[in-house]
Amino acid sequence: MFKLAHISDIHLTPLPRPNLSELAGKRLTGYLNWLRHRKAVHQRAVLNDLIADMQAQAPDHIAVVGDLVNLSLPEEFQAAQNWLEALGDPEKISVVPGNHDAYVTSRSEPGIDRWRAYMNSNAEGARYKATASDRFPYVRIFGPIALIGLSTAIPTPPFQAFGTLGGQQRRALASTLAQLAEQNLFRIVLIHHAPLEGQVSRRRSLRDSVELSEILRKFGAELVVHGHNHQSSLHHLETANGLIPICGVPSASSSGAHKHQPAAYNLYQISKTGTGWRCEVESRGFHQPTSTTPNGEIGELARTILSASPDRDR
């Protein structure tokens, strides 16, 4: 059995105080929104408690699907690198970037390059990577499990948070999924933005979601995990070979303020059966707070069997 933990929208705090030169353009509106709203939502103590519970479940691997930072300040990328290093070794953690990790364009700050060790193919997966020159999609293989990491992170104008894969990445994804299907692997796609059309408003959407759905219908995947919406969700994409589960999670640092869902994560238990695969997901997170537990207690929120599918035709 392979146990995968799925967390997203870390939004690490405390937020470094930006200087005036760093508050040009989109960062200014983002910082004002932080002071008015998001500062109360994203709490380091909440994140720390959630991670402690996740680590206690002893996952084989952790998928961090974007928005580790808030305004893409240089100090934030370094803080996120430190946080990842404390979380675990790169071979145990896979990261894909979110829109807040590409909040603005910077020529001087390495940005997500600081996390490169968590966003590259391992030796087994490199054989199935469509092109050697492009970082995404990357492929990591652990026994019968294949993780495919995508990037939808692009700088956008103020008040916009959409993402895109782009044609080159979509073509590479199609090729990669096709190759992995021939090996009868359990393919898990990691993506930040909600991948289905209509899951979120256009200003926060994946702009090529229709094209992505066409690729998934044609070449298949056993599971897609995402973040971005700060909500626990389960959707399915219908294909000729069955349903693909699409799972989202709340922000891992959410205090529940301003009617946000409290922090939670998903834990997938995947095993090979005589007829195919069995994948069960347990959602774990904060129950409603009480006077003695102001952040709430962490425990099981829901449990669902996502798939018990027959083997694919070879």
Instruction: Return the pLDDT at 296.
Output: 72
Spatial separation of the C-alpha atoms in residues 145 and 180, rounded to whole Å: 10
Q: Regarding predicted confidence, which is higher, 133 or 100?
A: 100
Q: What is the CA radius of gyration of the chain?
A: 19
pLDDT tens string 27-61? 999 999 999 999 999 999 999 999 999 999 999 99
Please tell me the predicted confidence (pLDDT) of residue 132.
Answer: 59
Which pLDDT belongs to residue 133? 59
Could you give the 3-state DSSP secondary structure of residue 60? coil
Q: What pLDDT does 313 receive?
A: 44
Give yes or no for residue 314 having a pLDDT over 50. no
pLDDT over 80 (residue 285): yes
Write the pLDDT tens digit of every residue in 131-162.
655 789 999 999 999 999 999 999 999 999 99
* C-alpha 145: how far from chain center: 17
Q: Which of 212-216's residues contact partners 24+ apart within 8 Å by CB, and which partners? A: 212/165, 212/170, 212/173, 213/237, 215/170, 215/173, 215/174, 215/177, 216/177, 216/189, 216/244
Q: Is the pLDDT of residue 312 over 70?
A: no
Which pLDDT does position 308 carry in this prediction?
60
Residues 165 and 135: beta-carbon distance below 8 Å: no
Res. 273: pLDDT tops 70: yes
Residue spans per domain, the chain: 2-310
CATH match for 2-310 among 3.40.50.10420, 2.30.30.60, 3.30.70.260, 3.60.21.10: 3.60.21.10
Q: Is pLDDT of 292 > 70?
A: no
User: Residue 252: helix, strand or coil by DSSP?
Assistant: coil
Q: How many angstroms separate the Cα of 206 from the Cα of each of 28, 203, 229, 249, 282?
A: 24, 9, 12, 17, 26
Q: What is the pTM of this model?
A: 0.94
The rounded distance, in Å, linking the Cα atoms of 141 and 20 is 45
- 3-class secondary-structure state, position 7: strand
- Residue 290 confidence (pLDDT) above 60: no
HEC-encoded secondary structure of 190-246: ECCCCCCCCCCCHHHCECCHHHHHHHHHHHCCCEEEECCCCCCEEEEEEECCEEEEE
pLDDT, tens digit (0-9, with 9 covering 90-100), for 163-175:
999 999 999 999 9
Q: How many CB atoms lie within 10 A of CB 183?
A: 13
pLDDT(6) > 80:
yes
Give residues with Cβ within 8 angstroms of 167, minimum separation 6: none
Query: pLDDT band for position 291 (50/70/90)?
Result: very low
The answer to whether 226 and 181 have CB atoms below 8 angstroms apart is no
User: 37 is written with which tokens?
Assistant: 């709203």
Cβ distance 204 to 161 under 8 Å?
A: yes
Q: How far apart are CA 248 and CA 6, in angstroms?
A: 9
Residue 276 reports pLDDT greater than 90: no
